[in-house]
Amino acid sequence: MVGGVNARFWGRVALGAAVGAVGYLAVRSVRVAADGGRRSYLGAVTIYRPPAEVYAFWRDLPNLGRSLGRVVRVDEIDDQRSRWVVEGPGSSEVDFIVELLADEPQRLLAWRADGAPVPHEGRVEFTPAPGDRGTEVRLYVTFTPSGATAVGPLSGDRVGRLLSDALRRVKQIIEAGEAITAEGRSSGRDAYDRLPAPDDAGSARLTPRPDPEPSPMPWPATGGPA
Amino acid sequence: MARDGGTGVKALCWEGVNKVAVRTVPDPRIENAGDAIVRVTASSVCGSDLHLIGGYVPAMREGDILGHEFVGEVVELGPGVRTLRTGERVVVGSTIGCGGCWYCDTGRWSLCDNTNPNAELSERLWGQSPAGVFGSSHLTGGFAGSHAEYVRVPFADHGAYRVPLGLDDDAVVYASDAVPTGWMAAEMCDISDGDVVAVWGAGAVGQLAARSALLLGAERVVVIDRYPDRLAAARDNAGAHTLDYRTTDVQGALRELTAGRGPDACIEAVGMGADSDGLTGVYDRARHLMRLRSDRSGAVREAILACRKGGTVAMVGVFAGAVDGFPLGAVMHKGLTLRSGQQHSQRYLPVALDRMARGDIPTGYLTTHRMPLDEGPRGYDLFKHKTDGCLRVVFHPQG
Ligand SMILES: NC(=O)c1ccc[n+]([C@@H]2O[C@H](COP(=O)([O-])OP(=O)(O)OC[C@H]3O[C@@H](n4cnc5c(N)ncnc54)[C@H](O)[C@@H]3O)[C@@H](O)[C@H]2O)c1
Ligand SMILES: [Zn+2]
Ligand SMILES: [Zn+2]
């Protein structure tokens, strides 16, 4: 199954799988273990809504799938099992079964996805946050040994990033009604009149200050995500 | 000018350190249900832009559109917007708030959890991510700014406010950022009877902080800067006393004025570009010559040294990284309270509009220069060097 498939494919599939698994929430995902091919990740985030609401959002798997992006569709087969259809390479689709192992309303969801391209098991826990801060959500995902090869092309950082992005998305949709996008922003990088000539008329270099200016910061001046 | 058919709109873009240019960029579009598109009629420069333009803030990208303080007309609404109508004239806060997270719900909108699509980037630098901001670095979302004919406004229900009648563009534009910042700075000072407040920086932010401090009950406000025209403006319009730090020993003058106590609260409205003289200034310059770079923080140091025991130092000038020579000992042994933050637009903008409409906070005088967007590079040159009496430049992208 692994041979000849590129890393981007696995990136997508892993995301869908994690997503499928995940109930999510976590602003930061930390790799917590790497032994014997099993890789575990923890993500945690606080959502400013009561546990009942957060749990209900999670438990509604088709809704969860819609919120995550890159998940084409989730069909519930029965109380335990659902079929997740996620985007594969090009316009292809990949599907796999997610089986719920535990479902404790307002407290916990656990699942397993053995047949997924990236086999894994996961658990999401909901705890009331102190004060009026909503619900603490902790997500644990373990890629099972047979899946380790499949995850191979993905760096641990990348998986953690995918999980935390997904968690962030869920938080945004629950709290704000939508996940704000950075896509489609207009900028001079796509300017219609952008000419390579450094001295073109529309452009001007500001004259330096008379006193020495501090140099730019030690981090790159560019380098934000696209 | 045209939005349909993708012929593009004019925008003022950052093109590298100390370089800005007017370009024709793709039309902004509705990307999220809560977005509005605003046809910008006035957009002000801000001291924060100078930090960005000068390359002191990480994660700027060539081509980023500047501008975050603006007024305009709503021309298009996403399907989720409930409170606005097309054709309405609005002033938009510079920080973007979702309205649904814990921070927004408790009035700390600039700390919103949900409006920075690049949160991961700022978490790496600062531990947690603040709200998204228009026309700023990708650390705060890289949202296209308002120095453009049109701009996309996310979460428009929360960020865009109808302009009261009787306030013209060149005055009301400051309700976006400068007035809320000044007001927040003064509020952070917890002013009580008899308090003397000192303000470093006589830019628009410092002027408005001084004015706000008087409105909130300060006995006396002292504004410190080096530009005589700015100091005169602070005397005439904000009702402040002034000190020129080039010709005056500021620490001595403040001690004399307060009979040795020191100001009860100090507001820093200068930020990373602060001049510093004497030893610490030499130290700052030496370090950057040696490429041991850090933000310049001369005015913060002065404020901490001047402040009375148990007083408050409110820092609204912007910093991005680390500073050297920070007088932590003075903070500790004088029992100071330090406060800081980006202004919470959605909390202070209504207060600002109300005070401005009543005439309590005059702002028209701040606009010393108005010009079409095409003259953007010249506008920033004037503003950067404070030449020709420049206090603020307001661009009129519609010509
Ligand atoms: N916290 C916020 O939400 C917020 C909002 C807007 C602006 N700001 C920040 O506020 C600061 C001021 O903005 P502005 O638009 O008024 O800028 P500005 O450039 O017009 O004014 C800054 C003033 O500080 C003076 N100055 C420099 N070094 C000084 C020193 N050592 N002592 C006293 N004065 C000194 C300069 O001469 C200048 O007049 C900037 O750092 C800006 O980024 C913060
Ligand atoms: Zn500003
Ligand atoms: Zn928010």
Digit-coded pLDDT (tens) for B111-123:
999 999 999 999 9
pLDDT, position B268: 98
Q: Would you call B26 an interface residue with chain A, using a CB distance cutoff of 8 Å?
A: yes
pLDDT digits (tens, 9 = 90+) for A88-113: 777 788 888 999 999 999 999 999 98
- Binding-face residues of B in 148-177 toward A, CB within 8 A: 148, 152, 154-155
pLDDT of the residue at A154: 52
User: What is the average pLDDT score of chain B?
Assistant: 93
A40 DSSP β-pair partners? A33, A142
- % of residues, chain B, pLDDT over 70: 94
Measured from the Cβ of residue B132, the count of other Cβ atoms closer than 10 Å reads 27
pLDDT of residue A153: 46
- Residue-level pLDDT at A7: 53
pLDDT at B142: 94
The residues spanned by each domain of chain B are 9-177+343-396, 182-340
Please give the pLDDT value at position A191. 84
Q: Regarding predicted confidence, which is higher, B99 or A3?
A: B99
pLDDT at A28: 30
Q: Which amino acid is located at B162 in the chain?
A: R
Q: Answer yes or no: is pLDDT of B222 > 80.
A: yes
Alpha-carbon span B236 to A14, nearest angstrom: 64
**Given ligand 1 and candidates B136, B226, B270, B342, which is best to mutate, with the most ligand atoms within 8 Å of its CB?**
B270
d(CA A51, CA B358): 45
Partners of residue B96 in chain A, C-beta under 8 Å: 180
Nearest-CA neighbor of A225 among A173, A185, A197? A185
Alpha helices in A101-218 (DSSP H): 145-151, 156-176
- Range with the lowest mean pLDDT among A1-10, A26-35, B280-289, B314-323? A26-35
Least CB-CB distance to B100: which of A175, A190, A194?
Answer: A175
Nearest CA-CA distance, residue B273 and chain A, Å: 8
Distance in Å, CA A220 to ligand 1 centroid? 24
Instruction: Say how far apart CA B32 and CA B221 lie, in whole Å.
Output: 44
The answer to whether B390 and B383 have CB atoms below 8 angstroms apart is yes
Q: Cα separations (Å) of B45 from B104, B252, B253, B343, B381?
A: 26, 34, 32, 16, 11
Which residue puts its alpha carbon closest to atom 24 of ligand 1?
B201
Of B325, B26, B38, nearest in space to B154 by CA: B38
Task: Say whether A219 and B59 touch across the interface (CB within 8 A).
Answer: yes
Residue A162 distance to chain B (closest CA, Å): 11
Measured CA to CA, the distance from residue B178 to residue B352 in angstroms comes to 10
Query: What lines the ligand 1 site, CB under 6 Å?
Result: B 46-48, 50-51, 177, 181, 200-206, 224-227, 230, 245, 269-271, 274-276, 298-299, 316-318, 342-343
- Does the structure show a pLDDT above 80 at B229? yes
The structure tokens 């099993």 sit at A38
pTM of the entire predicted model: 0.89
Bridging pattern class, strands A93-104 and B312-315: unpaired
Tell which residue, A26, A97, A34, has the closest CA to residue A61: A97
Asked if B178 and B69 touch (Cβ cutoff 8 Å), the reply is yes
Confidence of residue A218 (pLDDT cuts 50, 70, 90): very low
Asked whether residue B281 carries a pLDDT value surpassing 80, the answer given is: no
How confident is the model at residue A9, as a pLDDT? 55
Are B98 and A175 within 8 A, CB to CB?
Answer: yes
Q: Can you tell me which residue has the tokens 């602070």?
A: B234
Q: Please state, in angstroms and rounded to a whole number, the distance separating the CA atoms of residues B304 and B319.
A: 16
Which residues on adjacent β-strands are paired with residue A123? A110, A140
- For the ranges A32-46, A100-114, B185-199, the one whose mean pLDDT is highest: B185-199
Probe site for chain B from A180, A190, A209, A222 (most B CB atoms < 10 A): A180
**CATH of region B182-340:** 3.40.50.720
Flag the least confident range among B10-14, B58-62, B65-69. Answer: B58-62
Residue B18's CB is within 10 A of a number of other CB atoms, namely 20
Domains of chain A: 27-70+103-176 (3.30.530.20)
Of A163-172, A186-195, B129-138, the least confident? A186-195
Out of B54-63, B169-178, B213-222, B380-389, pick the least confident. Answer: B54-63
Beta bridge partners of A204: B20
Is-contact B360 B214, C-beta < 8 A? Answer: no
For A126, the token pair is 């909901």
Q: Is the ipTM of this complex over 0.95?
A: no
Question: Residue B196's Cα: distance from chain center in Å?
Answer: 23
Segment B226-249 mean pLDDT? 97
pLDDT of residue A200: 45
Q: Mark yes or no for CB contact A221/B60 under 8 Å.
A: yes
Q: Which of B21, B80, B138 sits opposite A224 (nearest CB)?
A: B138
- Return the pLDDT at A165: 84
CA distance B172 to B69: 10
Name the minimum distance, in Å, from the CA of A120 to any CA of chain B. 25
Question: How many angstroms separate the CA atoms of B53 and A10, rounded?
Answer: 40
d(CA B34, CA B153): 8
State the average pLDDT over residues B337-362.
Answer: 97
The pLDDT-based confidence of A66 (bands split at 50, 70, 90) is confident
**Subunit contact B80:A222, Cβ cutoff 8 A:** no
Average confidence (pLDDT) over A174-194: 83
Task: Determine contact, residues A162/A15, Cβ cutoff 8 Å.
Answer: yes
pLDDT tens by residue, B350-380: 999 999 999 999 999 999 999 999 999 999 9
For residue A27, the chain B residues in CB contact (below 8 A) are 119, 123
Instruction: Compute the residue count for chain A.
Output: 226
Dig out the tokens for A37 from the structure.
């091919």
The pair of three-digit structure tokens given for residue B258, joined into one six-digit string: 């307060």
The CATH class of B9-177+343-396 is: alpha beta
Nearest residue in chain A measured CA to CA from B154? A180
